Chain A
Amino acid sequence: MSKYIDERVAVNLIGSVVGVDDLIQAYFNNDQESVIKGLVQKSNDMDSVKKLLDTMNYNVKGRFVSGKSMLGEIEREIMDSFMTKDNVESFETNLVGTPSMFADAKDNNGKDIDYSSVKQVYPYFNERKEMLISLEQSKNR
């Protein structure tokens, strides 16, 4: 398993929202601003995007020191910022909420990293999905 599994899960989710081709172009053109702009446009909330990026940047090193992953929080923040009725199926496919999937992940001391934060991912997804469906139904009434 990749050491950077948390970042892969997050990129999978975010890539399905902002478009992988745009990310490729930004990557090879060293264009950080277009990525941030794309994220803010999709979420309509600069503060949420900033919070998400801060959480991801803390977790990329922090989990190897603290022994605790924040992937569950990250997935919830991505849902809050980017999940809509149009991409809910893609989220359902790409979300990861099973702690046993991360059984091989070790911290800097060789101990298992705690992935209990992902346990809340599927219940939270179901709650958000229901809310989006209800909103859509009330719009169509």
Chain B
Amino acid sequence: MFEQVRLSLQQNPHIDLEVKADIEELIKIFNSKLPNISLNNFNERIKTLKIASGNRFIVKDPIEYDGVNNVLYINVDELNNSDAKNSLMVGLLNIISSKGKYSGFNENNKLEALNIGFTEMLADFLVGNGSEVNE
């Protein structure tokens, strides 16, 4: 499956090569640490994913995923103050577990907070979090 995802990513016309390399690296880590989790959904979404800068009044986190329009929004100011690898992994987890408007086990925002905390902790488990080191 990883090879299929890699090909889908390469075919995406909207993402530049440097970001593709970052995404590929992170998906490789995800697949090696959570090999039983399906990447089918991600494989479909990555083919047409777009990346855009987000207005800081709308995009409050370093990276936010709009699952309806399949766009990953980046807030550059927030990203500069975070561990970029960890933030990108949070974004990718939202894509992997996306079900349109909602991701993970959140639906209709009933489990919004729990889902946010769990996504962050999964990202830490997968790639660590450099921004926590200097506390």
Interface residue tally for chain B (C-beta within 8 Å): 32
A104 to B81, CA, bound (A): 12
| A8 engages B131 (CB within 8 Å) | no
Whether A26 touches B117, Cβ cut-off 8 Å, given contacts A1-B131, A36-B110, A53-B110, is no
Stretch in B12-20, B47-55, B99-107 touching the partner:
B99-107
Chain B's nearest CB lies how many Å from the CB of A12? 8
Residues from 4 to 32 in A contacting B, C-beta threshold 8 Å:
4, 6-12, 14-15, 23-24, 26-28, 30-32
Residues from 72 to 113 in B contacting A, C-beta threshold 8 Å:
96-97, 99, 102-107, 109-113
A34 to B104, CA, bound (A): 12
| A53 engages B131 (CB within 8 Å) | no
| B105 engages A32 (CB within 8 Å) | yes
Whether A11 touches B114, Cβ cut-off 8 Å, given contacts A30-B99, A30-B105, is yes
| B105 engages A57 (CB within 8 Å) | no
Residues of A within 8 A of B26 (CB): none
Residues of A within 8 A of B60 (CB): 64
| A2 engages B114 (CB within 8 Å) | no
Contact with B along A32-70 (1 / 0, CB 8 A): 101110000000000000000100110110001000000
Cβ-closest chain A residue relative to B83: A2
A134 to B36, CA, bound (A): 44
Query: 28 pairs across A/B with beta carbons < 8 Å?
Result: A1-B132, A1-B135, A2-B131, A6-B113, A7-B113, A7-B117, A12-B121, A15-B118, A24-B37, A26-B105, A27-B104, A27-B105, A27-B118, A27-B122, A28-B97, A30-B102, A30-B103, A32-B105, A32-B106, A32-B110, A32-B111, A35-B105, A36-B110, A53-B110, A53-B113, A57-B109, A57-B110, A57-B113
* B-to-A contact residues, CB < 8 Å: 34, 37-38, 60-61, 96-97, 99, 102-107, 109-122, 129, 131-132, 135
